[in-house]
Amino acid sequence: MLGWVVSPLIAYVGVVAWEGLTRPAQTISAQNFLLGFSLLSAIFIVPWGLACAAGFAIGFGLRPLIRRPGSGAGPTLQGRTPPAGPSSRAPAPETPPPSLPPDVSPDAAEWRPAHVGFENDGLEIGGLGVWTHTWRAVDAAPLHLAHPAHPDETHRFRVQEIVEGSNLVRFAVSEVSNGVWGFYVPRYDVVEAWGSSADGSLRYEHRKREHAERKEEAPASWAVLLDAATGHVLADGSAWTESRISGNADGSLFLRLRDDPGETLFRIDPTARTYRNQGEPRGDFPLLTLPDAIEHARREGARPGPGARYRHISPDGAIRVDSEAVEWGNSHWVHTPRVIDTASGRVLLDLWNTDWDATVSWSGPRRVSLDFSRYHFSGDLTIELDLANESYRITREPGGDAELPSGPLAEAASAMEASGRRVAAFAAGHGAARPVWDDGKPGPFAALRTALVILVTAAVLIAAATWLSMTTGSQPPGRPKVLRSIPSAPVAPARPKVQAEPIRDPGEPGATR
C-alpha cells in the first residue's frame, strides 16, 4: 500500500533522472525539481489519494474471495474453508471420524465436535448463548483438532469459558475460516468442591452463587479459606473473576486469584500461619493480614507494568509469564511473552516487541509450554522451557520429519527463529499443499491481483475527475452573452468653415486698430 501511494514520486524521480542522463546539456536544479513536483502535486494529489483509498477498499473487500484456502491472515485465522452445507450446525457424532489427520493433539479424545457456523448465529452450548456472553480464556494449551466438518483439516482451538449464575460452560473454539467458527466441547468436566490442608488446621470451599442472588459481573463460584477450628473466614475470592484453592504435596495451599489483568498466587503455610505472594517474592507475612493483601492486589491489579499486559503464574509458583498485548493489525492482537524465574527474577525468554503470539500452559513442575504462532513472519511451534534442567525443547514444528531440536535455555530464542525459517522453507516447497499453520503469506499472484485492482480503480477515478473538471470547471455558470456586431459611435454635426484672414501689422497701410 505504501508503495502504491508514493509511486508517483518514484516515477517523477525516474523521469528526472532519465532526462539528466539523456539530455546532459540541460541543467537540472533543485529549484526546478521542486517546482515541477509542486505543480504536479497540486493537480494530482487529491484524485490520486482518492483513487488509492478506493482501490485499497476494493482490494480488501475482494481479498477473502480470491485468497486460497488455508492461507489465514494473522494468528487468529486458520483457513478459508466455508461451512459445509445446511447440516453443519448440527452436533457431530460422539465418535471422532476415523480419518483424523496425524497432527491432532494427543488429548483430542477428550473433546467432541459440537458446531460449525457463522458468527452471531444464535449458538447455545449447555443452555448458554455463546455469542451473548463474554468469553474467558482458560489456562490450557491450544488444541490441534480437526475441522468439525472437514476431518482432513487441522486447526488450532483455544479453550474458553462462559458463566451465567451457577452455570459454567467450557468449550474449544477456532475461526476455521473468515467469519466461520468451529466449536468442540469436553466429553466430561470435573470440579473439586472442597478440601483441607494436610494438618487439618485450614479448610477451603468453592462456593456457588444462586442465580437469583447473582450480581452483575460476580463470579458463579469462588474460593473461601476458613479456619477449621473456629470457622472464621481468612480469605474470600468473591470479588475476583475467578478464584480457587488447591493443596500441595508439602502441606501448603495455593490460593489463585484471576482478574482481567492477570493472576495473583498466594502460597499459604498452615503450620506457620503465614502466606507469600508467589508473583512478587517479598517474604512471608502473617496469615491474618491475607484479606488486606487480597484486597490490595485486586485494587492495584496483577498488572506487571503499564499498558495491556497480563500475568500468568505456574501451578507451583516457580515461573511467571508476563504477556504484552499489541494490536499488530485491525483487531488482531498478539500476546508476546516474557518468561521469568519468580525466585530470582531472572528473565528466561523475552519476546516483547516481536510478533510471536503465545498461549501459555504448564507441562510440569518448573516447566512452561508456549504454543506459538507468528503474525508477520514464518513461525509456528510449541516449545517447552525446563527451568530445573536449564534447557528448552521444541515439541511441535509443522512440516519435515527431522528430529525436533533441544538445547540450553539461553538458546531458545535463536532456536525459534531457526524453526521459523524451516517452516517457511517447507511452505515454499509445498506450494498450494502447504499446511494451515503457515504464516499467512498470500499466493504468488495475490499481490499482482491487488495491484491490478488498485491500478484500474485509480485510472477510472482519475479519468472521471479529469472529465468532470473539463466539463464543469472551465467556464462560469450561465450562458455567456455574445456580441453579434459592434455599434457605431455617434457623430457630432459638422461646423461651417471660417476663412481666417491674415494678421496685418498696424503700421501697414489699410490696417485698423
Residue 48 resides in a domain: yes
**In 3D, which of 335, 162, 306, 132 has the Cα closest to residue 241?**
162
Residue 126 resides in a domain: yes
Residue 307 resides in a domain: no
**In 3D, which of 334, 299, 360 has the Cα closest to residue 439?**
334
Domain co-membership, 109 together with 48: no
Domain membership of residue 47 as a residue range: 2-67+445-470
Supply the pTM of this predicted model.
Answer: 0.50
Per-residue pLDDT of the chain (513 residues; tens, 9 = 90+): 888 888 888 888 888 888 878 877 666 777 777 888 888 888 888 888 888 888 888 877 776 555 433 333 333 333 333 333 333 333 333 333 334 444 555 567 778 888 888 888 888 887 788 998 888 887 777 888 888 888 888 888 988 988 776 567 889 999 988 888 999 988 654 445 678 888 888 988 887 755 444 444 555 678 899 888 888 888 988 888 888 888 887 888 989 888 765 788 899 999 999 998 887 767 889 998 999 988 888 777 644 444 567 888 887 888 989 888 887 776 677 888 999 998 888 899 999 888 888 888 887 888 898 988 887 777 788 899 999 999 999 988 887 667 888 999 999 999 998 888 888 777 777 653 433 333 334 445 555 666 777 778 878 888 777 777 677 654 555 555 555 555 665 666 666 665 655 665 566 565 555
Among candidate residues 159, 186, 213, the one where a domain is terminated: 186
Among candidate residues 153, 186, 219, the one where a domain is terminated: 186
Helix boundaries (H) for 67-127: none
Domain co-membership, 99 together with 58: no
Which pLDDT does position 501 carry in this prediction?
A: 59
Which pLDDT does position 148 carry in this prediction?
A: 86
Among candidate residues 167, 186, 205, the one where a domain is terminated: 186
Domain co-membership, 180 together with 90: yes
Domains held by the chain: number: 2
Name the pairing type of β-strands 274-277 and 285-286. Answer: antiparallel
CA 124 to chain centre: 26
Q: Rounded CA gap, 205 and 209, in Å?
A: 13
Residue 286 resides in a domain: no
Question: DSSP label at 472?
Answer: H
- CB under 8 A, 24+ apart: contacts of 98-102: 99/151, 99/152, 100/146, 100/151, 101/146, 101/151, 101/152, 101/153, 101/154
Helix boundaries (H) for 431-505: 446-472
Which pLDDT does position 391 carry in this prediction?
A: 93
Domain co-membership, 19 together with 111: no
| Residues ≥6 apart with Cβ < 8 Å to 338 | 321, 322, 323, 324, 347, 349, 350, 351, 352
Map residue 466 onto helix, strand or coil. Answer: helix
Q: Rounded CA gap, 27 and 362, in Å?
A: 70
Domain co-membership, 45 together with 113: no
Domain co-membership, 101 together with 150: yes
Whether 421 and 405 have beta carbons less than 8 Å apart is answered as no
Between the alpha carbon of residue 211 and those of residues 101, 220, 406, 461, the distances in Å are 42, 8, 50, 60
- State the cell numbers at 414: 535463536
Question: DSSP label at 289?
Answer: G
Domain co-membership, 125 together with 168: yes
Which pLDDT does position 62 carry in this prediction?
A: 75
Domain co-membership, 94 together with 44: no
Domain co-membership, 90 together with 151: yes
Residue 227 resides in a domain: no
Helix boundaries (H) for 222-380: 290-300
Domain co-membership, 179 together with 95: yes
Map residue 409 onto helix, strand or coil. Answer: helix
Residue 320 resides in a domain: no
Domain co-membership, 104 together with 15: no
344 exposure class (CB count in 10 Å sphere: 0-12, 13-18, 19+): exposed
**Which regions of 260-318 does DSSP assign to beta strands (E)?**
262-269, 274-277, 285-286, 309-313
Residue 241 resides in a domain: no
Map residue 262 onto helix, strand or coil. Answer: strand
Residue 18 resides in a domain: yes
CA torsion sign for 299, 305, 310, 314 is negative
- CB under 8 A, 24+ apart: contacts of 188-196: 188/110, 191/221, 192/246, 195/245, 195/246, 195/247, 196/228, 196/247
Domain co-membership, 6 together with 62: yes
- State the cell numbers at 153: 483439516
